Chain A
Amino acid sequence: MSRRIEARFAELRRAGRAGLVTFLVAGDPDMTTFEEILAGLPAAGADIIEIGMPFSDPMADGPSVQAGYLRALEAGTKLRRILPAVRRFRARDDETPIVLMGYYNPIWNYGRLQFLEDARAAGVDGLIVVDLPPEEDAELCLPARERDLAFIRLATPTTDDARLPKVLANSSGFLYYVSITGITGAAAPVPTLVAEAVARIRARTDLPIAVGFGIREPAQAAAIARHADAAVVGSALVDLVARHLDPEGRATPRLVPAVHDKVRALAAAIAGVNRS
């Protein structure tokens, strides 16, 4: 439900700090390990949890996330197995917002309205569907909003002032500003350009603004947190999963703590930024 997202940003505002949004791939490297990571994310400092739904042809993602999707698919991850994992998380944590991110074909294949019903019932709060621009709002965005699921839209450096109103029109939850033209995990964002873009968007919406793509290290996250309401870190966490596999591709004991340690470091850096 989108109210968890609203409540979380209200809380962050009261605390005078930006949030940390973490992205990991569902079922990477296997569902059990993923659920262990997931369970510990709030305590490690994740304010909002984004979960990638694996797709065989992720055309907006870089090598790290592509590899994560592939590992998850090889481990047998299916869309219908992701929602129960969210439900199990929700049984223990009723506050941390969960956003599912992915591509449209698995959702359309699942049955788009059924998917919305099941996602809501499992405790999902919002959706980011990379290949559904405003021109295709009738597909999923409008039905999602009718069911009180936030439909979080991406704005990019190519979204100019003429187009921005169209992107904002049916957006809800928060706006995800893609800090570079490119794929996930590629070039690092330039803080001054991000600051300008965030200011430009803020003049036109009351939605919180999260910034992502290319943010890997605590210092970068802190630089972004000076301007944005939240920083999104994805590829760097997915890379940590990749680095803690044994030669057969199975999780090693250090994997889960390594991800949580990184999240803690990112959260601490963001918390150190005074936004008042």
Chain B
Amino acid sequence: MTARPNSFRAGPDENGHFGIYGGRFVAETLMPLILELEQAYGEAKTDPAFRAELEGWFRDYVGRPSPLYFAERLTDHLGGARIYFKRDELNHTGAHKINNCIGQILLARRMGKTRIIAETGAGQHGVATATVAARFGMECVVYMGERDIERQQPNVFRMRLLGAEVRPVGSGSKTLKDAMNEALRDWVTNVETTFYLIGSVAGPHPYPAMVRDFQSVIGEETRRQILEKEGRLPDVLVAAVGGGSNAMGLFHPFLDEEAVRIIAVEAAGLGIDTGKHAAAMTAGRPGVLHGSRSYLMQDEDGQIVEPHSISAGLDYPGIGPEHAWLKDMGRIEVTAVTDRQALDAFALCSRLEGILPALEPAHALARVIELAPTLSRDTILVVNLCGRGDKDIYTVAEAMGVRL
């Protein structure tokens, strides 16, 4: 498409664009808020006190750094690349989502906001948001699609225990995208008090860049840890992408390391050719939704198509704009694995490593299972184990025909 840039890490430009992607496609009511947020984040980012505060919370509350773990039995079983897990499933609340939530709530407090709203799909971002809202003493409303509420009951209860109000969203497909529409409607209605805590590297500028920055702690730690353990950088990085925040967090610090192969794994659902999937980059086209331009699942008229994935966290029709740009630039490889492959990977990881992965990183593991045997034994591969699978046992049981 365009010439290779000097750095893949310089974006976005001042208007929030990554190439043709990103931007600020929002209603006028929200524009002043987004500009205010951009300014506040710009100041916080360069304030050493903010950075130190964030690091303190990462260490003492989230439990960072998360370990980089050599998955010896999986490595032996697959007989190829040396596989490491970046264990963000060990964070407080059981997923990487908390990294971003801590960052944004510190910013919300700095901006004098008192009410937090969020959207959630699988419920992990909702739980992480409810967690930080409880800790910082703020009112919290989480929008969640009715269909997701049904399949993620434990997380709904968790959020309520944490004092958040979970508002069911019955419009559209009743999933993550509709929850995001409803959160945006709340935000335009309650502009004075409310901070919208977006959970992925999506939405209008500055969210994609801001969420990426907060999640980049994953990749920064990985870099330090792999140098300690192996004395060199990894050869391959693999992560699942729904909106793309865990993947961007792992990838971003390595984007300018040309020798590092980077693989994003989308949800192929029942199979790309069935149309029942959530693989926006594999099978979608560029479009505009939720404040930014990126790859989208849409019909020939530009209406958004309902995605499908067994993993509620990947069940989103779009993808963060920076991923879209990196795909077009050829810097990341994009592949997709099916529900079935993810379930098989879930089972294998549980039995070999004693770790129940969430269904989201199970997608990344499924790709690793295909790929690792084709790579030499001195190849170093890091996969982002971005969430734990406890929340998914009901879904997995149902897929196995087991009644709990």
Contacts and interface: CB of A to CB of B under 8 A. Distances in A.
* Chain B associates with chain A: yes
Interface of A: 54-60, 62-63, 66, 73, 78-80, 103-110, 130-136, 153-160, 163, 167, 178, 181-183, 186
B57 interface: no
Nearest to B170: A63
A154 B188 CA distance: 13
Contacts of B180: 59
B181 A62 contact: no
Interface stretch (B29-37, B232-240, B330-338): B29-37
A181 B29 contact: yes
Contacts of B289: 57, 105
A108 B302 contact: yes
Contacts, number: 116
10 contacts: A55-B302, A56-B172, A60-B185, A105-B296, A105-B298, A108-B293, A132-B25, A158-B30, A158-B31, A182-B185
Contact of A131 (B171, B191, B288): B288
A153 B303 CA distance: 23
Name A's interface SS: loop
B15 interface: yes
B177 to A, nearest CB: 6
B75 to A, nearest CB: 43
Interface string B255-298: 00000000000000000000000000000010111110100101
B95 to A, nearest CB: 26
A78 B301 contact: yes
Contacts of B47: none
B185 A62 contact: yes
B374 interface: no
Contacts of A109: 285, 287, 298, 300-302
A156 B28 contact: yes
B189 A186 contact: yes
Contacts of A182: 185, 188-189
Contact of B28 (A104, A108, A153): A153
A209 to B, nearest CB: 14
Given A109-B298, A159-B28, A183-B188, A136 B303 contact: no
B162 interface: no
A105 B304 CA distance: 9
A45 to B, nearest CB: 28
